[in-house]
Structure 1
Amino acid sequence: MSWRFVSLPPQDGYHMITSFVAVAEYVTKGGKDTFLVFSVKEPFVNVGVHQEVWLEVDLEYTKKMKIPVVRRDLGGGTVVITQGEHDYFLVLRQEEAPSDPKALYEKFLTPVVNVLKDYGLNASLRDQDIVVNGKKISGNGAMTHGKAVVIAGNILMNVDTELMSKCIKVPSEKFRDKLAKDMSEWITSLERELGYVPPREELDKKLKESFENSLGIKFEEARLTPEEIERWEQLSNEKKKEEWIFYKDNRHPELKTERCVKISSAVVVCHFDYKARKLVRLTTKFVNKRLHEVSISGDFFVMSPQGFVEKLEDRLSGVPPDKIPEVIDLTFNEMKPVIFGFTADDLKKAFQEIINKPEVQEVI
């Protein structure tokens, strides 16, 4: 089986997070499976599609330093992308990809693990991340687009934990110092592990060989088609618009709290972080003994269907607290989402945690 191997020049954040969408549309129309590799021109903050920017990013710092904040179409957490990573995207026909996320990652990330092992590193797959001696060296995610599946990932060549910690929103400077220290302890890089940074061309050569051997495919050097490039430019321009970058924030403009606040005898706004396999953030507003509004955000991945989280939020609006589990179950059963990071039961437990809070109990 023949795949395209496309090596692109360094890109800005908006082009990076739309490259694989343009290619997914090409694959959907019958184009060849494609492996993209490239790096970025300058640092940017990359926010997951299900996250609220105000909860995740230190906007005061990013604006001051003119660091772009970019929202991708892919789930997962907020990351700071720098020139110190080597990025790759696999775009393939949906029928060739396992429907189970764990099996998907195992099949298509094992070749990357093998590349790191070839450098003599103790690399292994942990969920969708690749770790060396327990420290993350590669973050990955997946999504469906049209009739294509995208696996996005990177290999950290070197890391700037100080910059990363300054871009992330934290409760205090003391916490920021701790965050930077923690990042140094649970993130690593080729430079740290090997004592040098391998050339990107060498990495590409090893990746090609490993994927060909593991998947039984053959790469052909290729370029994006004119149609892909035209669509890519269109998509990158759309991602620069503030209504996209802050769409999750603007969807719930009144839900801005990081704790429970009783506004009146009938109204309470409450925020709760629930750690399932991934983080689920719930911000809720209860009015007159009903769930008036909810924002469900976090670093989870919804591979399909698109718009599932928004549909669930809408269906929960106006529901009495005791009916929330029923609505969650009905929506999951009807839409059958493929989610990596939490289950319907996790979501029900998270809501129950909020409902049990004293401030909420007083108004419901």
Structure 2
Amino acid sequence: MSWRFVELPPQDGYHMVTSFVAVADYVSKGGKNTLLLFSVKEPFVNVGVHQEVWLEVDLDFTKAHNIPVVRRDLGGGTVVITQGEHDYFIVIKANEAPRDPVRLYSTYLTPIVNVLRDYGLNASLRDQDIVVNGKKISGNGAMNYENAVVIAGNILMELDVDLMSKCIKVPSVKFRDKMAKDMRDWLTSLKDELGYVPPREELNKKIKQAFERDLGIKFEDSQLTPEEIETWEKLAEDKRREEWVYYKDNRHPDLRTERCVKISSAVALCHLDYKARKLIRLTVKFVEGKLEEVSISGDFFVMSPKGFVEYLEDYLRGSRPEEINERIEKAFEEKKPVIFGFTKEDLKNAFNEVLKKPEVQEVI
């Protein structure tokens, strides 16, 4: 089976997060499966499609240092992308990809695991991440795009924990120091493990060989088509719009709280972080005993259908507390979402935790 192998020069954040969408459009229309490799020109904060920027990013710091905030089309958490990582994008025809996310990641990330093992590292796949001796060295996410599936990931070559920790929103300086320490405890890089940073050309060669060997494919060295480049430029320009970057924030402009507060005898605002396999962040507004509005955000991945989270938020509006679980059940039954990170039972449990809050109890 023949695939395209495409290497590109370093890109800015807007072009990085749209490259795989342009390629997915090509693959979806019958083009060859493609492995795309490149890195970033300058640091940027990369926010997951299901996250609210105000909850995740220290905007005072990023604006003061001209660090762009870029929302991608993939789920997952907020990450700070620097020149110290090497990025890959695997774009395949949907009918060739396992529907189950666990099998999908296992199939297409095994070559990356084996590249790291080729360097003598004790690498293994843990969920959608790759770890070395338990420390994360590669983060990955997946999405469906029409008739194509995309897996986007990176290999951490060198860490800038100081910059990374300053871009993420935290409640205090003390907490930031703890977060930086935690990052050093659970992240690693090729430099940390090997004592040096391998040349990118060497890494690309090893990745190419591993994919050919492990997937039984043959690469042809290629470039993006003129149509892909045209699509790519349009997509990158679209991602610069604040309407997109702050899409999730602007969808719920009145739900800005990180705690539970009783606004009046009839109104309560409440925020809850619920740890399932991934993090679910619920912010709710109850008015006169009904759920008037809800934001469901977090670092989970919704493979399909597109827009399921927004559909669910709208579907739950107007629910009485005793109706919430039933509506969640019905939405999952009708839409049959493929989600990596939480189940419908996790979501029910998260809402049940919110309903137990004293501030909410007093208005329902």
Relative to the length of structure 2, the TM-score reads 1.00
Specify the alignment match of 1:303 in structure 2.
303
The total of aligned residue pairs comes to 364
Q: Which runs of 4+ in 1 moved over 2 A?
A: none
CA RMSD of aligned residues (A): 0.3
The 5-angstrom pairing of residues 212-227 of structure 1 reads: 212-227=212-227
Shift of 1:319: 0.7
Specify the alignment match of 1:124 in structure 2.
124
What secondary structure is seen at the aligned counterpart in 1 of 2:224? coil
Shift of 1:243: 0.3
Specify the alignment match of 1:34 in structure 2.
34
Shift of 1:172: 0.3
Shift of 1:33: 0.3
Distance across 2 between alignment mates of 1:165 and 1:237: 28
What secondary structure is seen at the aligned counterpart in 2 of 1:42? coil
Specify the alignment match of 2:3 in structure 1.
3
Identity of aligned residues (%): 75
Shift of 1:236: 0.2
Distance across 1 between alignment mates of 2:105 and 2:292: 38
| Stretches of structure 1 lacking an aligned partner (at least 5 in a row) | none
Distance across 2 between alignment mates of 1:49 and 1:227: 25
Question: Is 1:113 matched up with 2:113?
Answer: yes
Specify the alignment match of 1:70 in structure 2.
70
Distance across 2 between alignment mates of 1:161 and 1:336: 39
Specify the alignment match of 1:244 in structure 2.
244
Shift of 1:2: 0.3
Shift of 1:276: 0.1
| Stretches of structure 2 lacking an aligned partner (at least 5 in a row) | none
1:275-317 Cα shifts (integer Å, max 9, x gaps):
0000000000000100000000000000111000000000001
What secondary structure is seen at the aligned counterpart in 2 of 1:232? helix
Specify the alignment match of 2:83 in structure 1.
83
Relative to the length of structure 1, the TM-score reads 1.00
Shift of 1:96: 0.8
Distance across 2 between alignment mates of 1:197 and 1:247: 37
Specify the alignment match of 1:138 in structure 2.
138
Shift of 1:56: 0.1
Specify the alignment match of 1:260 in structure 2.
260
Specify the alignment match of 1:197 in structure 2.
197
Specify the alignment match of 2:338 in structure 1.
338
Q: Which amino acid aligns with 2:123?
A: A
Distance across 2 between alignment mates of 1:356 and 1:181: 34
Q: Which amino acid aligns with 2:102?
A: K
Shift of 1:3: 0.3
Distance across 1 between alignment mates of 2:157 and 2:346: 35
Specify the alignment match of 2:174 in structure 1.
174
Specify the alignment match of 1:235 in structure 2.
235
Distance across 2 between alignment mates of 1:39 and 1:120: 23
Distance across 2 between alignment mates of 1:297 and 1:58: 17
Q: Which amino acid aligns with 2:308?
A: F
Distance across 2 between alignment mates of 1:63 and 1:101: 36
The 5-angstrom pairing of residues 268-283 of structure 1 reads: 268-283=268-283
Distance across 2 between alignment mates of 1:172 and 1:322: 37
Shift of 1:231: 0.3
Specify the alignment match of 2:313 in structure 1.
313
Distance across 1 between alignment mates of 2:185 and 2:158: 14
